Structure 1
Amino acid sequence: MSVKYDDLQGLHEDGTPRDGAAAHSWIPQGLLVKKWIPHPLSGLNCSPLTLLLGFLLTVFFLTIIITQAKVTADVTEVKASMDRIVSDEVSDSLSNGIQKILGILFSEMESRGNRSQEDAPLCGTGWEEKNGTCYYTSWMPQPWKFAMKDCEHRKGHLVVITSEEKMKFLSSLAYSAAVWIGLSSEKGSWKWVDGSSYEENPKFWLKGEPDNWLGHGLQGAEDCAQLVEDGWADVHCTLLFSYVCEKKIL
């Protein structure tokens, strides 16, 4: 504003000069307020780079929305599976419980994302057929009890080995990796999960097994069996290993 305070003091309210006011005083009839008026095209000055970035951001957010919808559906199904299994167990510790839940999640992810291209049509997705029996190998490690329950959830049970032929087949199926089998000890007595006789069927323990080794530092004995290459070994049931399920053809 260019009007001096002294000049304003020499004016009446209607803008006429007071007596004695300087004749040369400027008489404003109003105050001029300057406003910035944007150019009509100032907001549309978009470079090709700006347009490209806008397009990429749009595609990015659409991808997020579509992916989120798919993930939400998968998480719902995974949670249902977790509830079925976890509801039957009380974890001994927080860390142990987290390991078990991760095992279940990995198992569900495996069954969705890594399904075999050579599924046996009479067994179902992910299963392999051999001599009228269906086999499913999970490479996601879990404790023995959780492996047992997962097999039951798949309408089967942990694999039972009652012949040398079956032993050789399972050794090749597991690629010499250590996997849980359906054999466990209760008060020193070994039993198969399907009720097959332990005493009357052949046994394939490795030399020196079962030894019920206590040097692992965990509470309890080695009451669960695993297949290791061409034999069995007893280990602590809370350790994490892959496993093989079996069931009869549907």
Structure 2
Amino acid sequence: MWTIVPFAWCGPGVPGAPNRAAVDNLLGVSRSVLVTGGNRGIGLAIARAFAEQGDQVAVTHRGSGAPDGLFGVHCDVTDPDSVDTAFTEVEGAHGPVQVLVSNAGITDDTLLMRMSDDQFTKVVDANLSGAYRVAKRAARGMLRARAGRMIFVSSVVGMLGSAGQVNYAASKAGLVGLARSIARELGSRSITANVVAPGFVETDMTAQLGEKRQQEILANIPLTRFASPAEIAEVVTWLASDSAGYITGAVIPVDGGLGMGH
């Protein structure tokens, strides 16, 4: 026989009242998901995929505002105070972050001998140190909950290297060591950390490549096409699902075979 326990929602601000997001999670309704750099491109596709599943999704941006239908917070991942403020806003709206997708990143390409120290450190600070900052802040709530998912969006360039992208390749390769160290450190608390490494994806950036350059790239991809942002999003949402609960420290390429063997 089932026993039905009556529950009255007290609302925030009432001493001892449960957080609404925590109640939703208890009932299996949704999770609190944060996608950094989720206002465009791959990040936006990932954010929308989680939202379509019924999750409460927040995205960070650097001033462009939130896409329609998504909760947006301003965040500069190179600034620890900005990261903390963004997480506090998300926690106030959706509860502690249960799924973190670290996707925010920048490029500043030039050849090694022309690259300045500032160009190198700026990209590494945003792409790698920024991922460290958001992961550290997310871990606070995940450790309390003894559960959580962290997914870091790297790149095939981090495995293969790329002329003119010493800074970007180094930052994306570093995400592998970051994620695997987190996986070992926090695994006993049921917190997983994995890496998704996309290849070339149909975005505004690839659209700007000339036809000749696109054909050169496609010639090296066994599947002879670029990925769609939705294909990256499907892998990310799967890693955050119950089906991937025993996967941690993994690097999953979504590159059409471009980086196989690395």
| Structure showing the higher strand proportion among its residues | 1
Higher-Rg member (1/2): 1
| Structure showing the higher helix proportion among its residues | 2
TM-score, length basis structure 2:
0.25
